Chains A and B, each alone.
Chain A
Amino acid sequence: MHSWVFDAIGTRWRLDAGTDIDRSAVLSLVEGFDRIWSRFRGDSEVTRLRTTGHVDLGEHAPEIFALYDRLHRLTDGAMSPAIGASLERLGYDADYTLTAHGEAVAAFRWTDARREGSTIEVDQPVVVDIGAVGKGYLADRVADLVGEPVTVDASGDIVHRGPQPLRVAMEHPADPSKAVGVIEVPPGHAVAASAANRRIWGEGLHHILDARTGRPASDIVATWAVAPSAALADGLATALFFVSPERVLDEFPGVGCAVIDRSLRIRAIGLPGEVFR
């Protein structure tokens, strides 16, 4: 077993692999991804969309945007990669001012963007933020690079490609020393979690925004999703703030979901594992 812990794209990563890990290759992959997609970097490609109407976002763009298209439909427009301006308006900006600059703003209508392959063309400045799927997608690519068997843990977004299920505790949204259940991630699957209190900086302000209004989603405080890829699990963990687990399973058969609402009631369906009762 070869283990490696490192920090990248603002989060802690842990890799457990069956063979030597090519660390420089992993770091190169992560840096290359960040260089294109980071909303917080002045030199990133997505940053150029603030001033330029036409940008090529590289090899990963088609798959990422195809997933966002499905999530956009699933959530009736609540999820959009154009949510960045709304996030910045509420203070989740490159300088981490964490101070709302004004009223919430709805996101640029993503369906108005013209896309062809990896290029995107818009008629007005757009702040792209792929936070709902980006970390999971990158975890998938890191797992591809390292090769099986491997477990990639990007601080809770976990890709598991090993011979046996991986037992993952579902952290209690109000008490990190406790778990509300255990998910058994099947080999070749991934789990992702999202929580309204993960990045919170003011009364009612957190990072999960409804693109239709630019306001934080409410009612749900924590979600989990298990899916064949971490990109999908990551995206669904956010989608579950807007649509029911049953509707998610209708659109994505075979995935597993759990949500906890503000009254600390948990609903789970399709997940391998156990919820404590």
Chain B
Amino acid sequence: MRRTARTAVLTAAASAALFTAACGSEAEQVDPTPAPSASPDDTGDGDDTTGSFTPGDYEATGSYQTPGGTQSVDVEVTLEADGTITDLDVEGNAEGGNSEQFQGKFEGGIDAEVVGKKITELDVSKVSGSSLTSGGFNDAIAQITDDARA
């Protein structure tokens, strides 16, 4: 798997999962699973009585809109039965990006009226501000875990 830089990884994960949720596409479980006993093939045997998730590796592909056009990403997470994400990998397919062109735009100072844009339409990995959550990213991860509920 081609690993993009860390920032892009998190950025892509949030956008992908939000898109996944919005469009109703489903996360797919992929092999290999961490242990034979946790295989998705075993979900019907009733062994897994403590958690509400089928543990294992999950993968979802999503696309998202950026000012530069539609981009897509592959998100892979490893879930434990209690819903804990023990590993997260994202292959970002976006090339280039607009990071460089944003750099330094503030240098001369800005004094203007506030203009708000929907956070879900932004290519960001974190939110910082007045609410007490980190915004959409944690929500996005929650969407993936929802898809993985056994």
Contact = CB atoms under 8 A, between A and B. Distances in A.
A143 B73 CA distance: 27
Interface string A256-277: 1010100011111111111111
A269 to B, nearest CB: 4
Nearest to B112: A277
Contact of B105 (A12, A171, A180, A274): A274
Interface stretch (B25-33, B45-53, B85-93): B85-93
A46 to B, nearest CB: 23
Nearest to B108: A269
Given A2-B86, A264-B113, A276-B117, A198 B130 contact: yes
Instruction: Point out which of A12, A167, A171 has the most chain B C-beta atoms below 10 A from its C-beta.
Output: A167
Interface stretch (B35-43, B55-63, B120-128): B120-128
B5 interface: yes
Contacts of B116: 172, 175, 178-180, 276
B2 interface: no
B9 A173 contact: no
Contacts of A277: 110, 112-113, 115
Nearest to A256: B106
A265 B127 contact: no
A86 to B, nearest CB: 21
Contacts of A271: 106
A126 interface: no
B10 interface: yes
A271 B107 CA distance: 7
A273 to B, nearest CB: 6
Contacts of B104: 272
B133 A268 contact: no
A2 B7 contact: no
B111 interface: yes
Contact of B130 (A12, A158, A197, A267): A197
Given A11-B132, A164-B6, A184-B102, A177 B118 contact: yes
B138 A270 contact: no
A51 interface: no
A274 B64 CA distance: 20
Contacts of B87: 1-3
Grouping DSSP codes into helix (H, G, I), strand (E, B) and loop, the B interface class, with mixed when no group exceeds half, is: mixed
A267 B113 CA distance: 9
Contacts of A267: 109-111
Given A1-B88, A178-B119, A193-B128, A265 B112 contact: yes
B129 interface: yes
B134 A155 contact: yes
A171 B124 contact: no
B124 A195 contact: no
A173 B129 contact: yes
Given A179-B127, A182-B122, A14 B134 contact: yes
A273 B86 CA distance: 31
A172 B105 CA distance: 19
Contact of B11 (A2, A167, A175): A167
A156 B114 contact: no
Instruction: Point out which of A1, A16, A153 has the most chain B C-beta atoms below 10 A from its C-beta.
Output: A1
Nearest to B130: A195
Instruction: Point out which of B8, B103, B106, B114 has the most chain A C-beta atoms below 10 A from its C-beta.
Output: B114
Interface of A: 1-3, 5, 11-12, 14, 16, 18, 149, 151, 153, 155-158, 162-173, 175-180, 182-184, 191-193, 195, 197-198, 222, 224, 245, 256, 258, 260, 264-277
Interface of B: 5-11, 85-90, 99, 102-107, 109-120, 122-135, 137-138, 141
The 4 closest A-B pairs by CB, nearest first: A171-B129, A195-B130, A178-B116, A164-B7
